[in-house]
Structure 1
Amino acid sequence: MHIDIWSEEFGAATDEPILLVMGSMSQGILWPDEFVGRLSAGGRRVIRYDHRDTGRSATIDFAAQPYTWRDICDDVLRVMDAHGLASAHLVCHSAGGLLGQLIAVEHPERVRTLTVIGSSPLGGGEGMVIMRALMGEQQPEGSLPEPAPEFTEFFRGVITAAPAANRREQIERMIAEERLLHGGALPFDEDASRKLQERIYDRARDLGALVNHRLAAAADPGFEPVGVLAQVKAPTLVIEGTHEPAKPGHGALIAAEIPGAQLLIIDRMGHTLPPEVHEELANAVLAHTAA
């Protein structure tokens, strides 16, 4: 099945290529323009894209043409192919980090380096940990650390809320979610958030189509192979904020499983990428992806 994927690139075609892979249900523009600009100014060819069923990429009739997270993972490789890249530096956020880890395991020749930000270890069952937390169920021994209480409380409300009545109400909900994911340690710029969420809302072909990512995850519960991270050969940088609300402590677990991985903890960062951390993030990625 042919899928149209929107992408854009910055920097010279001869520069070291970085492919930015955003998390589940997220548009590529959640990689902030300033952060992208710092990378391209540092001599990198930077590519960001919208996952299928987000932003300007194709929306799918899931009932007629169901897909899985394996297909979303294959889209990463398709974007690389479309830009003429046999390999690239993968910089991945949240669930995008799972995609990057899987590609590093199964297609090592395509990954020059791997950077995962605010993510969980492949095969750790992070989705089930969040689901059990939302249901108020006890986590089995050995499970990943569960989300912060404020995260669980917020998304319990999201699950039970009626659909937004209009654009304004939906954008207010999106701002509230960004505020929660921000982590609380750094000032939250509501005006900037409103502009971003309006942009996300207005550029989406079908904003509701992003829930297909949840259906895709449910359609392939075996998406994440267990016990394979020791196979990762790509130099790996793992980044987590001190105020990560969704996956607290997961970064250290990734770094512990991947041979030679480095762990960077960024003070006061939550699950988003606010301006206050762009310089440190960009410098770390530039150093990690230096030829």
Structure 2
Amino acid sequence: MLTTTERFVPSGPLTLWTERAGDPARPAVLLIAGAAAQGISWPDPLVARLVGSGVQVIRFDHRDTGRSSTVDFDLHPYAMADLATDCLAVLDGLGLDSAHLTGASMGGMLAQWLAVHAPARVRSLTLISTSPMGHDPRPSLARVSAGQSSDPDDLPPAAPAFLAHLTRRLPPGVESDVALFRVFNGPVRPFDEPAARAMLELARSRATDPAAAAQHHRAAPVFAPDRLAPLSSITAPTTVVHGDQDPVFPLGHGQALAATIPGARLHVVPGMGHTYYSPGLPEEIADLIRR
């Protein structure tokens, strides 16, 4: 049984839920979830595997998710930089000068931002299922949705199965969430629906306002100046982990990211999609993080 300690930490006027697993004297791994995702979206077996390898692991809820503060976005809009600053507030609140950062999807972009703008706080980077932080996938998605070809200078657009799912507009709820995760999983590896469903039901039950998480997609212009900083300035040791079946950010995104960060290593996971709810996959990802 994994022993954890929960704490709320301040980030300006907000409070953020955090969970620490493992010995606080061990090196820290901060897990940064993707857009609209709670900290508990990182599977428990992944956390347990990391703790068993000799590190402490920190999960947290972004603002507007889970048990963290919600924001009136119309009155107090926020940017990706603010979400990244929340990550620093988590480290500060837990008394950590620095940590090994692991970010998935949007969380990977936040980790890149921190490595560029707060390098002293970043001991290493593991960037999973993500894209270079200055890239805006929305033009490609819009063109493909309209039946137009993608600009050859763009990174690969999202897979047709994911785009088709977006047009279904299922009513909010656990069934809609499970359907999305099934698409995220991709067609090759088996989908661990019971594990995903249990997590998604828990996420719904513990959210202060389940609808607030959608505000992440409103967060700031993608091409804000702080997101256009060159990734070539990153000095933290970096591993890029990407599935060859990712329907949101196809493999070309991970390849471009690894090519841009000096010394970055790319590890392609056969059959992996955009999430980690497949039997054995959480442990496999944990081993790649620890390595």
TM-score by length of 1: 0.91
Aligned 8 A contact 1:122 1:224 in 2:
no
* Structure 1 residue 234 displacement after superposition: 0.2
Residue 156 of structure 2 is aligned to residue 145 of structure 1: yes
Matched, 1:48 2:50: no
Contact 1:239-1:251 at 8 Å conserved across structures = yes
| 195-204 vs 59-68, greater mean Cα deviation | 59-68
Shift of 1:244: 0.8
How far did residue 105 of structure 1 move?
0.8
**Deviation at 1:130?**
3.1
Alignment of 1:166-181 (within 5 A): 170-181=173-184
Distance in 1 between residues matched to 2:145 and 2:31, nearest whole Å? 29
Identical counterparts, % of pairs: 40
C-alpha separation between the residues in 2 aligned to 1:54 and 1:130? Answer: 25
Structure 1 residues 98, 224: CA separation in 2 closer, same or farther (over 3 Å shift)?
farther
Aligned twin of 1:167: none
SS of 2:16's equivalent? coil
C-alpha distance in 1 between matches for 2:145 and 2:44: 33
Offset at 1:126? 2.6
Q: Is the 8 A contact 2:26 2:56 kept in 1?
A: yes
Which residue in the other structure is 2:78 paired with? Answer: 67
Offset of residue 221 of structure 1: 4.2
Q: In structure 1, what is the equivalent of residue 7 of structure 2? A: none
Which residue of structure 1 aligns with residue 264 of structure 2?
Answer: 261
Could you say if the C-alpha distance between residues 55 and 128 of structure 1 is closer, same or farther in structure 2, counting changes exceeding 3 Å? farther
Q: Which residue of 1 aligns with 2:144?
A: 133
Structure 1 residues 229-284: Cα deviation after superposition (integer angstroms, max 9, x where no partner): 11000000000012111101211111000111000011111111123222321112
> 1:213 corresponds to which residue?
216
Instruction: From 100, 106, 126, give the equivalent of 2:117.
Output: 106
Deviation at residue 66 of structure 1 after TM alignment: 1.8
Please state whether the residue corresponding to 2:25 is helix, strand or coil.
Answer: coil
Distance 2:121 2:51 in 1: 21
Instruction: Answer 1 or 2: which has greater helix percent.
Output: 1
Corresponding letter in the other structure for 2:49: R
Contact 1:134 1:156 in 2 (8 A): no
Of 27, 32, 51, which aligns to 1:21? 32
Q: C-alpha offsets along residues 20-63 of structure 1, whole Å, 9 cap, x if unaligned?
A: 00011110111000100000111101001010000111111112
Residue of structure 2 equivalent to 1:186: 189
1:141 positional shift: 3.0
The aligned residue for residue 284 of structure 1 is: 288
- Report Cα offsets for 1:202-243 as digits up to 9, x if no partner: 11110000111122235x641663360110000000000121
The aligned length equals 278
Q: Unmatched 5+ residue regions in structure 2?
A: 1-11
Identify unmatched segments of 5+ residues in structure 1.
165-169
In 2: Cα distance, 1:18 partner to 1:282 partner: 11
Tell me, in whole angstroms, the C-alpha distance in 2 between the residues paired with 1:130 and 1:217.
18
1-side partners of 2:196 and 2:203: how far apart?
10
2:27, 2:40 → 1: CA distance?
21
Equivalent in the alignment of 2:247: 245
TM-score, length of structure 2 as denominator length: 0.91
State the 1:137 CA deviation.
Answer: 4.4
**Which residue is equivalent to 2:135?**
124
| Structure 1 match to 2:5 | none
Cα offsets for 1:50-107 (capped at 9, x unmatched): 1000011111111222212211111011111111111110000001111111110111
Give how far 1:129 is off.
3.1
Q: Residue 191 of structure 1: CA displacement?
A: 2.5
Specify the code of the residue in structure 2 equivalent to 1:284: L
- What's the offset of the Cα at 1:132? 3.8
Q: CA RMSD in A?
A: 1.6
2:223 paired with 1:195: no
Distance of 2:226 and 2:140 partners within structure 1:
14
